[in-house]
Chain A
Amino acid sequence: MTIPHRKFDALIIGAGGAGLNAALRLASADLRVAVVSKVFPTRSHTVAAQGGVNAALANVFPDDWHWHMFDTVKGSDYLGDQDAIEYMCREAIPTVYELEHAGVPFSRLDDGTIYQRAFGGQSQNFGGDQAARTCAAADRTGHAILHTLYQQNVRARTHFFDEFFAIDLIRDEEGAVLGALVLEIETGATLVIEAKATLIATGGYGQVFRTTTNAFINTGDGMAMALRAGVPLMDMEFYQFHPTGVAGKGMLITEGARGEGGYLINGDGERFMERYAPRALDLASRDVVARSMVTEIREGRGCGPNKDHVMLKLDHLGAEVVHHRLPGITDICRVFLGIDPAKAPIPVFPTAHYAMGGIPTDRFARVVAPARHGPEEVVPGLYAAGECACVSVHGANRLGGNSLLDILVFGRAAGTDILQYVAENPNHRPLREADLEPAVTRLARWERKGEGETVAAVKADLRKLMEDHCGVFRDDDTMAVGVEKLKALRERVEHARLKDQSPTFNTARIEALELDNLVDVGMATLMSAHARQESRGAHSRIDHPARDDERWMKHSLYSRDGDRMDFKPVRTKPLTVESFPPKARVY
């Protein structure tokens, strides 16, 4: 079988905010750009971001990019790379103005400037008064950004491959990336897209956990492609969970519900936070609340027939408060649970929200991996940006409003660097048939006939396993057992089979390929979490409750080959200012 080839200057895998901002930079400079997306571009997950994007515009309160930088370093629990953080916080300001000029309808103040709201973790003057740094387009910032960028790309003649699924990267013998093998979902036909530079911008992987806020498409495809191409993943143990997601579904019930006076109860009707956080109660920090909930469930005090969730009680607040101050929660309960939260409690469980870890890059979005000459050697022709990448600006913990910023700033940085790279490397490198083999073999694997487990069954077990063994409750025993179980599950995938072998619109085949990816990123997460014997940011361990800068102020790297763990230093030196030395992270 010969697979057709198409050639472009740049290939971008993913059409969320990161991919589209990179594409726009390139197409505006008249490069031939291909953007591949498994769903129609404006259905990318960026559309779900409601809160907004951070930039120190100082429209509401005094502000400074340097304060933004301090908050981000502190928020990262000192694991973020300070050169990249300085770059992001400085670039935030022109980035937001650029979006404004491109037509994003930001909400306004009376004087016509962009309205900014206050979010947790934002301060003036290096830890002083509350700052207001988040720019929003009503409650649909992600939607507005995505649509604006998409329209601009169409105008700039970016070539879109809509509903094409990227299977794997193509690398030559010297390790340079030559493009990717992709599959057209409608026809099942494969295509090789050759490019001088390739950007992975495939977003997050919340679907590896049973309860998540992430859409079904967030399966870590790009991260797993990087792993299979021999690139390690960085800081994968850092995954942000929200304590209150709708049990069994995942949608977020905002902290506002507890802020208004809602509280959690267990299966005995007990207000259990009184035992874990006698003062802060249900408003204790997210990780404390989430871990307390799971402890109640593990010890048999959960609610429901399977005792697998707890309840969030709002009914004592009265219909007036619940319906008027918490309209979003009221809607979710009505539509998904058929209940009125002013009358009945809401079943809740911690929900997986955001990946801090990912494909290691420098601040130019170039993928860097350990090689002969050190831990950060550039992989020629390969870039990553957005939630799939780890620059690292979020370190151990991301601040609200900083991820839309990350995708825009580093998407653009990728575009800028690719322009230069393509100018310096004007020819496509030769691609041999043998370079395609690993990708073609992986695809063919799912064409094997015969009896075997279904993809859906293995996937459900994987997601439960990750939730039980690498969720918010982490200790050595729980994770050691998890690693063994996951290795066994990885074997089961080898024996799973597809019943439906039809070529056209074979969603089952796509789901099988996604399962391969989920297993790989799941292993990266679990192995990294097991290795890190401290608590830092979103990674909190019961058996190592404190941060340990002496041993653990370093980035972790997981390689698929031999399930190997490696480490590299944090970049504590910013570009132009003094570094922020580690301090206890208290708010």
Chain B
Amino acid sequence: MDRADRLDPSLNPKLDPSLAAEVSRLRWQCRRGMLELDLLLNRFLDAGFVELDPAGRTDFVRFLGYQDQIIHDWLMGRAVPADAPLRRLVVRIQQAMRA
């Protein structure tokens, strides 16, 4: 099963349905105005999101609420978020891209 299929409830009966619903909701929030963000955020949603604890998932939702240009600067390493949970998230998203 590839990564995306693991997040598809019709293919993976072990997936918690509420988590699956959360992932589909966030999938659209990961559609952004810049290709770089599409690639990074979608990869993370497939590869890293389900491994986050509930607090981490809440942070990710908060992260997605920021403007494209700000998220872009964070993920490309041109700026650093002020709070520690978002800084940790930036590192995880970057790691997922290269995994």
Contact = CB atoms under 8 A, between A and B. Distances in A.
A55 B19 CA distance: 50
B34 A505 contact: no
B27 A338 contact: no
Interface in A465-509: 499-500, 502, 504-507
Interface in A226-274: 249-251
A47 B28 contact: no
Nearest to A507: B27
Given A42-B68, A143-B69, A331-B78, A215 B98 contact: no
B69 A140 contact: yes
A534 to B, nearest CB: 32
A186 B11 CA distance: 22
B28 A217 contact: no
A44 interface: yes
B24 A507 contact: yes
Given A500-B10, A505-B24, A251 B36 contact: yes
A215 B38 contact: yes
Interface string A499-531: 110101111001000000000000000000000
Interface string B59-93: 00000000111000001111000000000000000
Interface residues of B, number: 31
Contacts of B69: 47, 140, 143
Contacts of B40: 335
Given A249-B39, A505-B24, A39 B97 contact: no
A163 interface: yes
B10 A47 contact: no
Given A143-B68, A331-B78, A335-B76, A39 B24 contact: no
Nearest to B93: A335
Nearest to A245: B35
Given A331-B77, A338-B98, 14 more contacts: A39-B33, A143-B67, A143-B69, A212-B35, A215-B32, A217-B33, A249-B35, A249-B39, A336-B36, A336-B98, A456-B4, A499-B11, A500-B10, A505-B25
A45 interface: yes
- Dominant SS among interface residues on chain B: helix
Contact of A336 (B9, B31, B39): B39
Contacts of A500: 8-10, 24
Interface of B: 4, 8-11, 21, 24-25, 27-28, 31-40, 42, 67-69, 75-78, 94, 97-98
A216 B38 contact: yes
B35 A505 contact: no
A505 B28 contact: yes
Contacts of A72: none
A382 interface: no
27 contacts: A38-B31, A39-B31, A42-B67, A43-B31, A43-B32, A43-B33, A46-B33, A48-B68, A143-B67, A143-B69, A163-B28, A213-B35, A215-B32, A215-B33, A215-B34, A215-B37, A249-B39, A334-B77, A335-B77, A335-B97, A336-B36, A500-B10, A500-B24, A504-B21, A504-B25, A505-B25, A505-B28
A331 B68 CA distance: 17
A104 interface: no
A214 to B, nearest CB: 6
A214 B34 CA distance: 7
A504 B25 CA distance: 8
B10 to A, nearest CB: 5
A185 interface: yes
Contacts of A506: 24
